[in-house]
Structure 1
Amino acid sequence: MNNLGDLEIFARVVSAGSMSAAGRELGLSPAVVSKRLRRLEDRLGTRLMQRTTRQISLTEAGQGFYERVVAILAGIEEAEAFVSRRSALAHGVLKVSAPTSFGRMHIAPHINTFMQANPDLGVNLMLRDEFVDIVGDGYDLAIRIAELSDSSLVARKLAPVRRILVASPAYLDKHGMPETLGDLDSHVCLAPHNNDTWKLEGPQGETIHRPLGPLQTNSSEVVREAVIGGVGIALRSTWDIGAELADQRLVQVLPAYEGSRNVAIHAVYASRRFLPAKVRLFIDYLAELYGPTPYWDREQGAR
C-alpha cells in the first residue's frame, strides 16, 4: 500500500477510535492496520499515538499531524469530485453534532429534504448539549448556539438568536407581572445551573441579572417544561418556545429586555481550506433555511 493509503488508515483509526474498529471499516485485520501505522511512524521518525487494539490516544505530534492529514484527504476528495463532475453533489457520510432541543426541532424535520437532494450522502446526526471535540471525535461540523470565543475552528453564522423573558399566565396570575428588572428579585427565576447569569440588553445597555429559584438542573429542557408548567420566569430562545407564545401558554415579560444579541446559531468546522462538498452544501442548506430572520421568528411576527 502506498503512503497515501497509510494516511487514510491513520485518519480512519483516529476517527473510529481504535485499530479494530478501523480495520472492520476498511476490511483489514488489526494486525495489518498496526503494521501500516508502524510503517508510517518509522517513515516520519516520531510516535503518532499511544495504542492498543481497543483504544488509541494521539500524541501532541499525532494531533497536529491528524489535523493536516484530514485537510489533505478532504482536498483529494474535492479533486476527485471535480474530475468526476460530482462537485455539485454531496457524497459519503456527513457526521454532525447539534444541541439536543434545537436538533430535534429545527434540523431533524428538514433532514429528509437535504438527503433527497443529495442521494449519495448519508447523515450521522448526533444530538448532545455538550461541546464536542470536532477533530478528535471525527465530526465534519457542529451546530453551536453560543457567543463564540476565538479558537482555531472556523465558524459561520447561520441565524441570529432572539431570547426573551417569558412566564405562564398561571404564574403571573399568582405572582403578578414584574414591572422593572429589579422586580425579578422577588420572583422565581429559572435557569440551568451552568448558566447562572442572564446577560440582558435593555434601555440602559447591557446588564447582568443572576436568576434565583428553587429548581436546579443541568437540562435546558427541564427549564422549558418548568416555565410552561408555571414554576417561574425563564429566559428562552424564540426558536424553542414559539408555539407556546402563539397559543399563549407563555407570555413575554419585561419586553424592554432581551438576551445578548451576540449569541447566535453557528456552524463550526475544522478548516476553511479544502472544505468537503458535503459540509459546504449542508451549511449552505441550513443558512438558506433559517436566514437573517429565521422562520420561527417570521411565523411569530405574522401571528
Structure 2
Amino acid sequence: MTNLGDLEIFSRVISTGSMSAAGRALGLSPAVVSKRVKRLEERLGTRLLQRTTRQISLTEAGQGFYERIVGVLAGIEEAEAFVSGRSGAARGTLRVSAPTSFGRMHIAPHLKGFMDAHPELTLNIVLTDEFSDIVGGGFDLAIRIGELSDSSLVARRLAPVRRVLCATPGYLEKHGTPGTLDDLAAHVCLPQHTQDVWRLEGPDGSVVHKPTGPLVTNSSEVIREAVLCGMGIALRSTWDVGAELKDGRLVQVLPGYEGSRNVVLSAVYPSRQFLPVKVRLFIDYLAELYGPLPYWER
C-alpha cells in the first residue's frame, strides 16, 4: 500500500510548483523530496512528473492521480481534526484562487483580520482572471465572479455583483451622452476579451449589445485604466469603480441598463461530504465581510 506521506509530498510538489518549495514547506531537503516522489512512481509503475532543468509538470497519469488524492488528503486532515477535538481551529495551508483585481482590492486588505484570528493557518492566494481548475490546481476553494454552471462544484453566494455602463465626464462632453442603447454604436466601447457581448437588464427585460472598440486586452485592469483615462464607455462592476462613481471621476451612462443580475460573487469548492474547517471559516469570514449589501455599495 502507498505511504500516505509520499502522497502528501507529491501533492505539495504540485501545489508549490517545485521540489525545493515543497521541501521547505515540509521541512525536508529537495533530495529527500525527489527520492520520495521517485519511490511513489516506482510503487505505481508509472511516471507522474515530467522533469526538466527549469520546471516540473504532470504527466497525464500524474494529473489523474493528483486529482484523486487531493480530496483523500483533505478528508484525512478533516478526520484527524475531528477525532482530536481540534475541529474548531484552522490549521495547515489554505490555497485560494481569486480574480486579480478583486483579490487586490477586496481580499488582500482584509486578510490580516482573518490571519490574526487563525495564527496556525497559512494562506496561499493565487490571483488570476482565468477560471482555475480547482481540483487539478490543488485549490481548496476559488472566489469567482460570474454565472455558475459547473454542477460538480459547490458554490456559496457571497454578494451580488452590480455592473454599470460608465465613462468620464470629459469623454461624454467631447462625444456626447448616449440616450439609447442604439446610440452606443457611435461611441468607443471598451470590452474585455471575455465580453464579446454585453448582457444587460433594461426597462424591457434582458437585452444583448455587441460592443466594438479599438482596444483589445485580456486584462480587466487595463480596461479600468482606459475608461478612467477617457478612452470610452465600459461595463464595470461597482466593486471596481464605486469610488470613482461617488467622487465624480466616472459617470453612469444609460442608468436604465445594468449588467445581468445572474452574475454574482461566489465561493466555489469541490463537492465532498466533509468541508474542511479552514475552508468553512474563510468562506464565513468573506460572507460576513461582504453580505447582501456589500460595503462598496453603501
TM over 0.5: yes
Q: Does 1:5 align with 2:2?
A: no
C-alpha displacement of 1:51:
4.2
Select between 267-276 and 184-193 the one with higher mean Cα deviation: 267-276
C-alpha displacement of 1:127:
2.4
* 1:189 match: 189
**TM-score normalised per structure 1:** 0.87
C-alpha displacement of 1:85:
2.8
C-alpha displacement of 1:132:
2.9
Distance 2:30 2:118 in 1: 33
* 1:40 match: 40
* 1:124 match: 124
* 1:145 match: 145
Amino acid at match of 2:269: Y
Amino acid at match of 2:252: Q
Amino acid at match of 1:278: K
Distance 2:50 2:112 in 1: 40
Select between 167-176 and 33-42 the one with higher mean Cα deviation: 33-42
Does the C-alpha gap of structure 1 residues 116 and 25 become closer, same or farther in structure 2, counting only changes over 3 Å? closer
Correspondence 1:22-33 to 2 at 5 A: 22-33=22-33
C-alpha displacement of 1:43:
4.2
Q: Answer yes or no: is the 8 Å Cα contact 1:90–1:120 preserved in 2.
A: yes
Correspondence 1:1-303 to 2 at 5 A: 3-51=3-51, 55-150=55-150, 152-297=152-297, 299=298
Amino acid at match of 2:122: G
Identity rate, percent:
75
Q: Answer yes or no: is the 8 Å Cα contact 1:20–1:53 preserved in 2.
A: no
C-alpha displacement of 1:77:
1.4
Count of residues in Structure 1 that have an aligned counterpart in Structure 2 = 298
Distance 2:216 2:59 in 1: 39
Distance 2:287 2:148 in 1: 18
Distance 2:252 2:193 in 1: 22
Amino acid at match of 1:72: V
Distance 1:53 1:21 in 2: 15
C-alpha displacement of 1:286:
0.7
Distance 1:166 1:203 in 2: 18
Does the C-alpha gap of structure 1 residues 47 and 231 become closer, same or farther in structure 2, counting only changes over 3 Å? closer
Deviations 1:229-251 (A, max 9, x none): 32221111111111111112222
Distance 1:151 1:52 in 2: 36
C-alpha displacement of 1:111:
0.8
Amino acid at match of 1:64: G
When the two chains are superposed, the root-mean-square deviation of aligned CA atoms in Å is 2.5
Select between 213-222 and 228-237 the one with higher mean Cα deviation: 213-222
Does the C-alpha gap of structure 1 residues 250 and 33 become closer, same or farther in structure 2, counting only changes over 3 Å? closer
Q: Answer yes or no: is the 8 Å Cα contact 2:47–2:59 preserved in 1.
A: yes
Deviations 1:175-201 (A, max 9, x none): 222111111111121122342321112
Extract unaligned runs of 5+ from structure 2.
none
Q: Answer yes or no: is the 8 Å Cα contact 1:191–1:235 preserved in 2.
A: yes
Select between 25-34 and 93-102 the one with higher mean Cα deviation: 25-34
Q: Answer yes or no: is the 8 Å Cα contact 2:2–2:43 preserved in 1.
A: no
C-alpha displacement of 1:71:
1.5
Report SS of the residue matched to 1:184.
helix
Extract unaligned runs of 5+ from structure 1.
none
**TM-score normalised per structure 2:** 0.88
Report SS of the residue matched to 1:102.
helix
C-alpha displacement of 1:222:
2.2
Distance 1:246 1:25 in 2: 45
C-alpha displacement of 1:126:
2.6
Q: Answer yes or no: is the 8 Å Cα contact 2:141–2:270 preserved in 1.
A: yes
Amino acid at match of 1:70: V
Select between 20-29 and 63-72 the one with higher mean Cα deviation: 20-29
C-alpha displacement of 1:290:
1.1
Report SS of the residue matched to 2:256.
coil
C-alpha displacement of 1:20:
4.4
Amino acid at match of 1:150: D
Report SS of the residue matched to 2:171.
helix
